[in-house]
Amino acid sequence: MTISKGERLPSATFMTMTDNGPEPVVSDDYFAGRTVALFSVPGAFTPTCSARHLPGFVEKAQAFKARGVDEIACTAVNDVFVMGAWGKSANADGAVTMLADGNGDFVEALGLTMDGSKFGMGSRGQRFSMIVRDGVVDELNVEAPGDYKLSSADHMLDQL
């Protein structure tokens, strides 16, 4: 069953790359007491994700902060090393936190997986975005397969 607006996010542990190496990020703690603009991409370094999705959030990070967002986070079913390298290559440091969902546990708990086997990618997270306030989904935008508009930075800014 897919998560809906008004529901609390499931507990999960992400990994993020820090100056000290990989470190766990517990979702219950990460989302508690603040507003987070979270978006999910099918994969780091994939064409739409790298050319449009992540760059849109990096470019508009200050606009999100001005509208009350405490943090912008990107997640994908990739390992922490790939997510860390992708964030560096996109100049996301300080603008977007890269949360690796390496085993896909988070997107599976959300009910937002997709089958990327046709592209050699296996089970991945769908392209989606959400505004999370104190761990509860306030807005949820799930893209149709192959689309990119509802999960964009511009669309999310319009929701704030």
pLDDT in tens, 15-55: 999 999 999 999 999 999 999 999 999 888 876 656 567 98
Q: What is the pLDDT of residue 49?
A: 56
Q: Taking all residues of the chain, what is their mean pLDDT, rounded to a whole number?
A: 91
Catalytic residue chosen out of the listed positions 44, 49, 54, 140: 49
Q: In this structure, are residues 122 and 92 in contact, taking their beta carbons and an 8 Å threshold?
A: no
- The per-residue DSSP string of 21-38 comes to EEEEEEHHHHHTTSEEEE
Q: What is the pLDDT of residue 116?
A: 67
Distances (CA, A) of 86 to 33, 67, 159: 28, 26, 27
**Percent of the chain residues past pLDDT 70, beyond the cut:** 92
49 is annotated as an active-site residue: yes
Amino acid (one-letter) located at 35: T
pTM of the model: 0.92
State yes or no: pLDDT of 108 exceeds 70: yes
Give me the residue spans of the domains in the chain: 34-159
As assigned by CATH, the class of the 34-159 domain is: alpha beta
Alpha carbons within 13 A on the beta-carbon side of 98 = 29
The residues, any chain, with a CB within 8 Å of residue 147's CB and separated by 6 or more, are 127
What mean pLDDT comes out for the span 93-107? 95
Distances (CA, A) of 151 to 5, 7, 28, 90: 15, 19, 23, 18
Buried b or exposed e, range 65-82, using 16+ CB within 10 angstroms: eeeebebbbbbbbbbbeb
